[in-house]
Amino acid sequence: MFRKVLIANRGEIAVRLVRGLRELNIASVAVYSDADRASLAVRMADEAAHLGPAPSSESYLRIDKIIDAALRHGAEAIHPGYGFLSENAEFAEACTDAGLVFIGPPAEAIKKMGSKTAARQIAIAAGAPVVPGTESAIRSIEQARATAHSLGYPVLLKASAGGGGKGMRRVDREQDLESAIRDASSEAAHAFHNDEVYLEKLVIEPRHIEIQVLGDHHGHLIHLGERECSIQRRHQKVIEECPSPLMGIDPGLRDRMGAAAVKVARAAGYANAGTIEFLVDRDRNFYFLEMNTRLQVEHPVTELVTGLDLVSWQLKIAAGAHLTIEQSDVRWTGSAIECRIYAEDPENNFLPFPGKITRLVEPSGPGIRLDSGVYEGWTVPFDYDPLLAKLVAWAPDRNAAISRLKRAISEYKVGGIRVNLAFFTDILNDEAFARGELSTAFLDGFFVRRKPAPDPAPEMEAVAAIVATLSRQKPAAPVVNPTSKWKWEQ
């Protein structure tokens, strides 16, 4: 096993990785930019290396600086976390070239899955279902018109190099097709330096369900079941859960999706942890969408329900160990739900709200896991994604997990910045959510049916203003009592 590993990331995932390394008695090296000198990950890691200025282009994305830091500190391997360089094949290759182990899949598998059309072709060849559409990029307007006609409108244009919804255009009528191709193509050219687009039949109000896979470097590959990630806002996941409520309706679905995911991963020559994304339509047909060749933000829900430690397995597999779990050993127990806690203002169009955390009370207790990257007194920098923490509840069933999450949110106090905690309370109280009626359109409906908070009476606003002024003049913070009715400044 490795003796020392460098963590090429920041925030909550860097903290998660320090913890995973320490449990295996492996020394950790954190890296940091100017904005992260005092980060929780830096404080918790055994060693730390400075990368450069705050912008990620000058720090967390600098392959040369990260490799240099690993070599200087005597690390044998690098864990990339998620985002940043985690799906960069050039980085994976640079690690290998420097004699370091990249903790992730082979660079070749990252490359293959980086192109959405190449990934689609791999899935087709592997016999996994894909959404009906073009085999590869559109070559002419005539070809597009003919394909769209045979698929039937509405269709969806997607960027070959895309992902995350950029370069995507819904087309409802043939007369809109040509201009939509031009728009999607130029958006793709700007975003990905690749103007290729392809066509798919549009799946109406699909669910987004993904399958976790895990494979070793000796050809053994299994799946760890699904995560339901349908609740998204602007292609950002908001809540993730395992199992998907759909599995209660169709108990064979997990096996079918899992088998398809394993076929795709095998065809890509995959090893380590990865995720196969699917769309699921109203009739519970599923279609391969893309593969994420990294550890994902939402991996804790899989860990809680399967009892398997994904980071620990990533490290063992990267060190050459055999994955000693058979598919039939994997069991799914209870229900886990994760909320992504952001420094943002849900009352102001989810505007990022970084700043100093002046007060922090973190929830705990039965069934609660908090993967956090912050502490009281830390200033959340505005240079990065403002994810503070992931609050995850496990319970024997979904309703109990929802209750636990609501209880944990009621204990969670963050002062000095705005956070999206109240938004989660509203979703967890939503009746469609309780019934498990989820789709990628869930939040659109939620915002419409959510009753707006009643306007406070003018005299109450005057009282609130006076109280706020007086409380700002208070010399000291009160003693923290989470059960009191004290209203925090959050």
Q: Quote the CA–CA distance of 365 and 182 in Å, as a whole number.
A: 54
- Indicate the residue among 36 and 200 with the shorter CB distance to ligand MV4: 200
- Indicate the residue among 382 and 447 with the shorter CB distance to ligand MV4: 447
**Smallest separation, CB 467 to ligand MV4 (Å):** 42
Cβ–Cβ < 8 Å for 71, 93: no
**169, 207, 227, 294: the active-site residue:** 294
For residue 9, what are its two tokens? 């990331």
**Smallest separation, CB 4 to ligand MV4 (Å):** 36
Q: Which residues contact 274 (CB under 8 A, 6 or more apart)?
A: 105, 109, 212, 213, 214, 215, 265, 291, 292, 293, 294
Burial of 208-225, coded b for 16+ CB within 10 Å and e otherwise, reads bbbbbbbbbbeebbbbbb
Which residue type does 214 have?
Answer: L
Q: Quickly count: other Cβ atoms within 10 Å of residue 135's Cβ.
A: 11
Q: Is 287 exposed, middle or buried (0-12, 13-18, 19+ CB in 10 A)?
A: buried
Q: Quote the CA–CA distance of 240 and 282 in Å, as a whole number.
A: 19
DSSP state string for 351-382 = EE--EE--EEE---STTEEEEE---TTPEEPT
Q: Quote the CA–CA distance of 437 and 260 in Å, as a whole number.
A: 24
**Smallest separation, CB 200 to ligand MV4 (Å):** 4
**Smallest separation, CB 166 to ligand MV4 (Å):** 9
Q: Quote the CA–CA distance of 484 and 414 in Å, as a whole number.
A: 15
- Indicate the residue among 55 and 129 with the shorter CB distance to ligand MV4: 129
Q: Is residue 294 annotated as a catalytic residue, yes or no? A: yes
Nearest Cα to Cα of residue 28 among 391, 322, 390, 311: 311
Q: Quote the CA–CA distance of 353 and 386 in Å, as a whole number.
A: 8
Q: Quote the CA–CA distance of 180 and 60 in Å, as a whole number.
A: 36
Question: How many residues are there in the chain?
Answer: 490
Residues that bind ligand MV4 in the complex, under the rule CB under 6 A: 131, 156, 163-165, 200-203, 206, 208, 232, 235, 279, 289-290, 440
Task: Provide the Cα torsion 33, 39, 43, 48; round to 10°.
Answer: -10
For residue 436, the SS3 value is coil
Q: Quote the CA–CA distance of 486 and 478 in Å, as a whole number.
A: 9
DSSP state string for 223-248 = EEEEEEEEEEETTEEEEEEES-THHH
Q: Quote the CA–CA distance of 178 and 201 in Å, as a whole number.
A: 16
Sequence-ordered strand ranges (E) for 10-103? 27-33, 47-52, 77-79, 101-102
What's the distance, CA 200 to chain centroid? 24
Q: Quote the CA–CA distance of 404 and 419 in Å, as a whole number.
A: 19
Catalytic residue ranges: 294
